[in-house]
Structure 1
Amino acid sequence: MAFGDVKTAQGLNDLNKYLAERSYVSGWVPSQADVQVFEQVGKAPAGSLPHALRWYNHIASYTPAERKAWAAGASPLTAGGKPTAAPAKVEDDDDDDVDLFGSGDEEEDAEAARIREERLKAYSEKKSKKPALIAKSSILLDVKPWDDETDMKELEKQVRTVEMDGLLWGASKLVPVGYGIHKLQIMCVIEDDKVSVDLLTEKIQEFEDFVQSVDIAAFNKI
């Protein structure tokens, strides 16, 4: 559809009918065709022309600089206010518009993929920086002396001299076992990957002048 002088009642009426099923004068986005018709109309159409009024107010909401930046578009205005030729077929315009929107979808998909990759990368980096869980165990040892004449304070002192990477000594106490003999119960925490329980007990038993035997009274994973 082409229409002539939009400054006349007939021209405005034709414009109103033209915009009844369109958002813009040409295509699916505002263009220079809208600017041309907007400038020709000059002022807001009457309320009896709702489609033309809606379009005019929408175009007017943009600044002159924004309107100047719009791409060219096929104008339905005709020279001298008289129709001279029909505009391009709607089907052709639709095809062009579909291509444009298709490109937009591809750009949006690419952007969404980029954001997803960035988030996955950030999550992986955060996870890699998270300290690994260290497996530990809490052990209660029973250290038995030879007899009631064994110096238990010295025995404990000797036991605590055992140092291993991943070994931490804790609280201790003397527990009577009978006939005036006491055994040393001592707590320790070990890192499972660094400390062998068997090696630990062997090192304690090396204090032969004080230690008769070493038993594990309790063993708990932390």
Structure 2
Amino acid sequence: MSVTVSTATLNAVLNGLFEDNSYVVGVEASAADAEIFQLLAAKPDAKAFPHLARWYSHIASLGDAISSLKAAEVPAAAEAEEDEDLDLFGSDDEVDEEAEKLKAQRLADYAAKKAAKGPGPAAKTTVTFEIKPWEADTDIAELEKMVKGIEMDGLVWAVAGKHVPIAYGIKKLQINAVIEDAKIPSMEDITDKIEAFDDFVQSVDILALQKI
């Protein structure tokens, strides 16, 4: 069976999915995320699809590890029940007018369902950053102070980070932050600011993303 879906429609549906979920299924990146990532030709517009752009940046940060993602466990029945009647793309064997009308109606119903819930509390995500220095004698405490000095609307740093030994006396900084998804749609907005401390910072990675 085959159903043709426009890029804009696909992005809109995925943006709705990642508004309430960090990954396609489960609580960690899986083969399902890798499959969806491969479907997207380029990073979505962060202004039009902020939640999808946030997810895309995180999966892209995995680099070559994307191809080794394992299949995720099937979500618990309680999690699946909420949207058990939502089949966005239908199951017709051919692409025809009726299938397109049905798909459009289901998308409209989905949008109406989300709108009926009201704005609710702002969607937030806990992010764990891992920052590696250039040298063993890099002052990690000073680096942490500089990182926590980055101020953005919708960004709150943890009180303290972790100084984790790597090798040869070198330590890396691991630090959490809570972000409001709507105000900071892309992790690159933060990582770019950290990497700007180029005398201290060799690389920045995102270890984990967790919806609050």
Q: Classify the TM-score, shorter chain.
A: 0.3 to 0.5
Q: TM-score, normalising length from structure 1?
A: 0.41
- Higher relative contact order, chain-length normalized (CA < 8 Å, sep 6+): 2
In our comparison, the structure showing a higher alpha carbon Rg is 1
